[in-house]
Homo-oligomer: A and B are copies of this chain.
Amino acid sequence: MAKESGIVFIGNKPPMSYVMAVITSLSASNAKEITLKARGRAITTAVDTAEITRSRFIKDLKVSKISIGTEEMPAREGENRARMVSTMEITLTKK
């Protein structure tokens, strides 16, 4: 199996849904690495997901990289200009 690094997109479900996705993804593949990607309000959920996975489930998981950025989102209906949204990526690596 390829040693690809998985990506989990964090949305507005409770953190435990994403914790499960991370655990499943890491145990189903040979991947040693997984990246959580989040935008806006979901950033908090991404941090919760990383912390819960690390402290309660996969103890040898390490936060190897965190980056933040900004993305332009197209205007929603009724809005007349694009919004800037903060983004975050957290990479977790198995020791």
Interface, chain A (partner B; CB < 8 A): 40-41, 43-44, 47-48, 50-51, 55, 63, 66-70, 84, 86, 88, 90
Contact = CB atoms under 8 A, between A and B. Distances in A.
Contacts of A66: 66-68
Closest A-B pairs by Cβ, 3 of them = A66-B66, A47-B86, A43-B44
Say how many copies of this protein the assembly contains: 2
A8 to B, nearest CB: 16
A70 B52 CA distance: 9
B90 A48 contact: no
A86 B55 contact: no
Given A43-B44, A44-B41, A70 B86 contact: no
B67 A51 contact: no
